[in-house]
């Protein structure tokens, strides 16, 4: 009884101290929100260093709405349904990953990766393939072969000749093992590390990767050239390699290049003529590129451009003809600038297994991990070759109840491991019984240790706990808002129609024109377009006539547009021919077929805008209802103590 009373006193003291350190900032329907929770989300969404009373009041209103919606979702039991639990479980798995690694080792590997990124390495290699699960005999055979090849190079044999004779890399027959220049994250990690650890002109040690055994010769190292931002215009060559089609694509590319040299807008030409559908709509703009990101011909042409705005002559690759424009260039950023990018790449790289392995070793020490070697030896001896089969079934033995492993006050028996073997069975003919058991035991036990650590993360890491709370509430908020607001606005056609009818005057077209727009390459083409329009010839015929000597001369579009939205038109156009207007390096002729006075937008014409307005209306009504239903109490003194 004394122990119970003492425990209650200690618990009360702890709660009192915790409440003092993390006071309640508000109560929503009886549920308390601590200062730390509000502050975490507030500061995540407000990056200003100076926090004013007005900032807190403004965000408070949004936060209350957020909490009211979550409260409504909880009351409906949405946090108990399988879909919610599954989605939250996925987020939990993603958020846990940064906490399941050896952070100090990860920091070292990040610095090493940055050091590698500072240089580009040119190397050649020889590969002798060997499967990860190969037998000891096959592994030794592969090692002896790579050793033989390396010794021949050391004795003076030409590297390229040895690569062609010994290497299992298919490209070696063509290139003698050469890989060109590369930098960090372009090769598997053990290979990359060997390349950077080897001096130019020297051979590396024999290394093993998931592909097999390698050795490499480093030919050169140079400072990183940084990254380049490019745009391109692509004219595809015919896939069937018909000579006339290939010639036509080259001729077209060269014609575009001549127009660009004479001052025509690159962006506009890319939009009109580039056959790269992913970049044409944005003026041919591509992403940032560094060493090893591009096929060699494109890489050489891009990095040969010296000044921002420079344009290359047409360059041939297997995709067709490219005209490349240098949009921007930057040197390698600082470690601090690239930290996020490096961390992300390491998480998907071979380095990740090193940090995970080191982390597991630390957990074993923390949780007093112990393996009963005698029991494990006895278990191995009790097994026969059936354990190597893909249809292996564990058979109970007198060892079942024997304790095999303990950690964190948890105990695992031989039977537990036997069932795990059966659950994860697959054919392992290339390995011995002992190799198979050691490998599968390590995988099983490592997974068990990590799974246990996941259950401890919220107690160990406040930031992780906050993130899980944020994600949990966010999922509930999304699901219920979708039902009450977003989904309803889309599905409730009668409600949408009634909303529209009651607010027709809120949705009005400004003065518009229905016209044909002729985007001409130069004044000569625009003058020709004007004459042909006035002669009464049809739009398609006009385009055909003007483009007779070049498909670049004119591009025609027919559309209805609000006059205000046409940035190149300063005065109200008249019926008939208007222009030419200069726009983005082009000359635009506008043939106005009709001038349309301001009018209400029909529901079908502006359904997107009207649906969005209906969603806003539904959400406001819902918030008003929730504020009426659930009591909210705010501790302003605690709120304003946030700094």
3-state secondary structure 468-502: HHHHHHHHHHHHHHHHHHHHHHHHCHHHHHHHHHH
Tens of pLDDT, residue by residue over 358-397, are 999 999 999 999 999 999 999 999 998 888 888 889 989 8
CA-based radius of gyration for the chain: 35
- 63 closest CA partner among 87, 88, 40: 40
- 579 closest CA partner among 571, 536, 551: 571
Helix (H) / strand (E) element for 67: namely helix 53-75
Q: Is 219 exposed, middle or buried (0-12, 13-18, 19+ CB in 10 A)?
A: middle
Confidence at residue 246, expressed as pLDDT on a 0 to 100 scale: 56
Say if CB 215 and CB 146 are below 8 A apart. Answer: yes
Tens of pLDDT, residue by residue over 225-255, are 899 999 999 999 865 544 445 578 999 999 9
- 234 closest CA partner among 312, 151, 343: 312
What is Dmax (Cα atoms) for the chain? 107
Say if CB 476 and CB 73 are below 8 A apart. Answer: yes
Confidence at residue 293, expressed as pLDDT on a 0 to 100 scale: 81
**DSSP letters of 17-33?**
HHHHHS-EEEEETTEEE
Confidence at residue 643, expressed as pLDDT on a 0 to 100 scale: 84
- 64 closest CA partner among 21, 29, 40: 29
Confidence at residue 429, expressed as pLDDT on a 0 to 100 scale: 56
Confidence at residue 508, expressed as pLDDT on a 0 to 100 scale: 93
- 61 closest CA partner among 29, 107, 26: 26
Which tokens hold the place of 173? 């027959």
Cα atoms in the Cβ-side hemisphere of radius 13 Å centred on 551:
11
Confidence at residue 432, expressed as pLDDT on a 0 to 100 scale: 80
Give CA angle at 273 (272, 277), nearest 5°.
90
- Low-confidence stretches of the chain (pLDDT < 70) are 1-20, 238-246, 426-430
Complete domains list, the chain, with CATH: 1-80+465-506+603-643 (1.10.4030), 119-223 (3.10.50.40), 227-331 (3.10.50.40), 367-460 (no CATH), 508-600 (3.10.50)
Peptide bond into 580 cis (omega under 30): yes
- 433 closest CA partner among 391, 395, 377, 393: 377
Q: Directed axis angle between helix 414-423 and helix 433-460, to 10°?
A: 100
């Amino acid at each position: 009884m004394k122990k119970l009373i003492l425990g209650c006193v200690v618990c009360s003291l702890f709660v009192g101290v915790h409440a003092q350190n993390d006071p309640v900032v508000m109560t929503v329907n009886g549920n308390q929100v601590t200062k730390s929770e509000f502050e975490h989300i507030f500061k995540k969404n407000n990056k200003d260093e100076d926090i004013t009373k007005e900032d807190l009041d403004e965000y408070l209103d949004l936060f209350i709405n957020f909490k009211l919606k979550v409260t409504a979702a909880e009351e409906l039991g949405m946090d108990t349904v399988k879909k919610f639990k599954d989605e939250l479980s996925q987020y939990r798995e993603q958020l846990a990953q940064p906490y399941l690694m050896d952070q100090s080792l990860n920091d070292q590997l990040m610095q090493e990766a940055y050091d590698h990124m500072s240089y580009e390495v040119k190397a050649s290699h020889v590969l002798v393939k060997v499967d990860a699960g190969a037998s000891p005999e096959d592994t030794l055979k592969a090692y002896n072969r790579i050793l033989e090849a390396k010794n021949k190079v050391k004795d003076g044999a030409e590297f390229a000749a040895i690569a062609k004779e010994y290497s299992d890399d298919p490209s070696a027959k063509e290139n003698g093992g050469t890989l060109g220049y590369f930098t960090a994250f372009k090769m598997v990690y053990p290979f990359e590390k060997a390349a950077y650890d080897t001096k130019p002109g020297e051979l590396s040690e024999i290394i093993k990767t998931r592909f097999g055994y390698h050795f490499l010769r480093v030919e050169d190292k140079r400072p990183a050239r940084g990254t380049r931002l490019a745009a391109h215009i692509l004219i595809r060559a015919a896939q069937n390699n018909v000579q006339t089609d290939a010639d036509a694509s080259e001729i077209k590319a060269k014609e575009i290049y001549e127009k660009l040299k004479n001052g025509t807008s690159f962006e506009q030409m890319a939009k009109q003529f580039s056959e790269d559908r992913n970049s044409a709509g944005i003026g041919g703009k591509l992403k940032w590129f560094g060493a090893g990101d591009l096929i060699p011909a494109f890489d050489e042409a891009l990095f040969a451009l010296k000044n921002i705005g420079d344009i290359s002559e047409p360059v041939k690759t297997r995709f067709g003809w490219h005209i490349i424009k240098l949009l921007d260039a930057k040197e390698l950023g600082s470690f601090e600038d690239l930290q996020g990018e490096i961390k992300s790449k390491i998480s998907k790289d071979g380095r990740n297994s090193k940090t995970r392995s080191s982390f597991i070793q630390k957990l074993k020490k923390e949780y007093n991990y112990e393996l009963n070697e005698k029991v494990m030896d006895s278990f191995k001896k009790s097994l026969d070759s059936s354990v190597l089969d893909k249809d292996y079934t564990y058979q109970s033995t007198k060892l079942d109840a024997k304790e095999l492993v303990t950690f964190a006050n948890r105990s695992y028996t031989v039977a537990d491991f036997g069932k795990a073997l059966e659950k994860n069975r697959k054919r392992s003919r290339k390995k011995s019984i002992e190799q198979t058991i050691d490998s599968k035991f390590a995988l099983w036990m490592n997974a068990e240790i990590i799974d246990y650590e996941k259950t401890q993360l919220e107690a160990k890491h406040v930031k992780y706990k906050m993130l899980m709370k944020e994600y949990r509430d966010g999922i509930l908020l999304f699901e219920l808002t979708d039902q009450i607001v977003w989904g309803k606005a889309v599905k409730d056609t009668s409600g949408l129609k009634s909303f529209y009818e009651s607010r027709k005057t809120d949705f009005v077209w400004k003065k518009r024109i229905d016209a044909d727009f002729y985007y001409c390459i130069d004044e000569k083409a625009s003058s020709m377009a004007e004459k042909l329009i006035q002669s009464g010839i049809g739009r398609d015929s006009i385009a055909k006539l003007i483009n007779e000597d070049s498909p670049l001369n004119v591009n025609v579009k027919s559309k209805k547009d609000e006059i205000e939205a046409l940035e190149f038109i300063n005065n109200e156009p008249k019926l008939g021919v208007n222009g030419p207007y200069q726009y983005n390096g082009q000359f635009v002729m506008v043939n106005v077929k009709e001038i349309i006075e301001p009018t209400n937008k029909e529901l079908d014409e502006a359904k997107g805008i009207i649906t969005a307005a209906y969603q806003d209306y539904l959400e406001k009504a819902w918030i008003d209802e929730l504020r009426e239903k659930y009591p909210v109490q705010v501790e302003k003194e605690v709120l304003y103590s946030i700094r």
